[in-house]
Amino acid sequence: MKKFLLGLTIISAMFTSCSDDDSNGGKKPVEGQIEGVISADQTFAYGNYTLKGIVKIKSGVTVTFDAGSTITCDKGKGDNALVVLNGGKLIINGTASEPVVFTEVSKVPGSWGGIIMYGDAPIKAIGGATTATSEDGNNQSYGGTNAAHNGGSLKYVRVEYAGAKLADGTKENNAFTFYSIGSGTTLDHLVAYKGADDGYEFFGGTVSATNLISYGNYDDAFDWQDGWQGQNNSNWYAYQEVKGNFGMEIEASGNNNTYGPKVTNVTLKRATGTSPEIAGAIEIDAFQFKKEGNGDFSNVIIDGYGTYTEAGKTYQGAAIKIQDTPTNTDQVNSSRIKITKAKISNTAVEILAADATFTVAFPTGTFTKDAAATGASVDGGNWSSVGGVSLIK
């Protein structure tokens, strides 16, 4: 029955009449509802759609959204998310002036599950496992040997108010969640806006992402584990306000990998008065490396990661925190963590060890500062604005 209703919804949307309008080339937006399992290729024309429930794109199916479309869900009617199963493809053809926006009616962070994509690119999970089960409540297996996995193309997409716990109430999601996504997938000009968890999280895989904005997300702006190894990432911008943990939380699930991701042109900013997601948590650093996490980051702006005071106790933030001895020994000392051409301001401590059991000393050339660093270069326009207000601070 759900498949039948979905078909009717799509057909009615496709045949809605068009008339003159001021946007999207004079076309009038169509109206429609998206629900259930999508089992045949579909193109959603420019329009306003309601996303109802956990919508899944099956393997072998391609779903396309045209520029300027808005997709809205309602937490009051149950859990919602857009899920791309391994083998499925999501094509979102937004533009700088007409992005595709996924949002929720209440505008409360944590109101839905965001966009979740699965692939079969390589991972290295806990214990070196090459496959794992997703932690999002969907219980999907991810990981494989297909480094070139192609989950589609996401261009000029904004996800708002995501980060909901789905299913049993203990599984968390982000605005964008990528499970073992491959290098054949395009991620470009994306915005994660005011979610209750991370802006972006990568669980292994080989995909790279360009021109990302993470704005006002309660947990980390960017997060990864399971041996993510994207090499062509650039222009990542984060602004944390009100609530927020690390600018980047970086781990490799306890595996001493000889590889790691590479990101150029990075800006991490934290507004004055921003508190961690959970009271008393010492999660207020720009970069946190733990569980053998590593990476190469160049042309970096770090601003505002200072102290945090609560109930008379002051917590120290830093530009870079190394969380444990194995990460320090295997990654820092082996030059697998590189942060070069970094400009640091309003951040008193540059390098911090999580405790007194070890001392962090970056090898020559692996941590360098440069007052001329420019960080992320983010284009203006509708895609990087909400309500006419730019997200770039």
Do 201 and 236 lie in one domain? The reply is no
Domain count, the chain: 2
Do 241 and 347 lie in one domain? The reply is yes
Rounded CA-CA distance 33/239 in Å is 33
Kindly state whether residue 219 falls inside one of the protein's structural domains: no
The answer to whether 109 and 218 have CB atoms below 8 angstroms apart is yes
Kindly state whether residue 62 falls inside one of the protein's structural domains: yes
Kindly state whether residue 216 falls inside one of the protein's structural domains: no
Kindly state whether residue 393 falls inside one of the protein's structural domains: no
Show the 3-state SS of 187-225: EEEEEEECCCCCCEEEECCCCCCEEEEEECCCCCCEEEE
Q: Could you say which of 171, 206, 241 is where a domain stops?
A: 206
Nearest Cα to 188, choosing from 69, 100, 270?
Answer: 100
Tokens 């857009």 belong to residue: 82
Do 187 and 255 lie in one domain? The reply is no
pLDDT at 89: 98
Rounded CA-CA distance 4/343 in Å is 56
Kindly state whether residue 170 falls inside one of the protein's structural domains: yes
The whole domain housing 298 covers 231-383
Do 44 and 163 lie in one domain? The reply is yes
Kindly state whether residue 141 falls inside one of the protein's structural domains: yes
Do 163 and 301 lie in one domain? The reply is no
pLDDT at 137: 84
Do 102 and 171 lie in one domain? The reply is yes
Residue 300 bridge partners (DSSP): 266, 342
pLDDT at 169: 57
Q: Going residue by residue through the chain (393 aa), what tens digit of pLDDT does each one get?
A: 444 344 434 434 433 333 334 467 778 999 999 999 999 999 999 999 999 999 999 999 999 999 999 999 999 999 999 999 999 999 999 999 999 999 999 999 999 999 999 999 999 999 999 999 998 888 899 999 999 999 999 999 999 999 987 766 566 799 999 999 999 999 999 999 999 999 999 999 999 999 999 999 999 999 999 999 999 999 999 999 999 999 999 999 999 999 999 999 999 999 999 999 887 778 999 999 999 999 999 999 999 998 888 888 888 899 999 999 999 999 999 999 999 999 999 999 999 999 999 999 999 999 999 999 999 999 999 999 999 999 999
Do 136 and 183 lie in one domain? The reply is yes
CA dist 286 to 106, 222, 238, 308, Å?
30, 10, 10, 13
Do 314 and 240 lie in one domain? The reply is yes
Do 244 and 198 lie in one domain? The reply is no
Do 243 and 200 lie in one domain? The reply is no
Do 3 and 145 lie in one domain? The reply is yes
Do 163 and 283 lie in one domain? The reply is no
pTM for the predicted model, two decimal places = 0.93
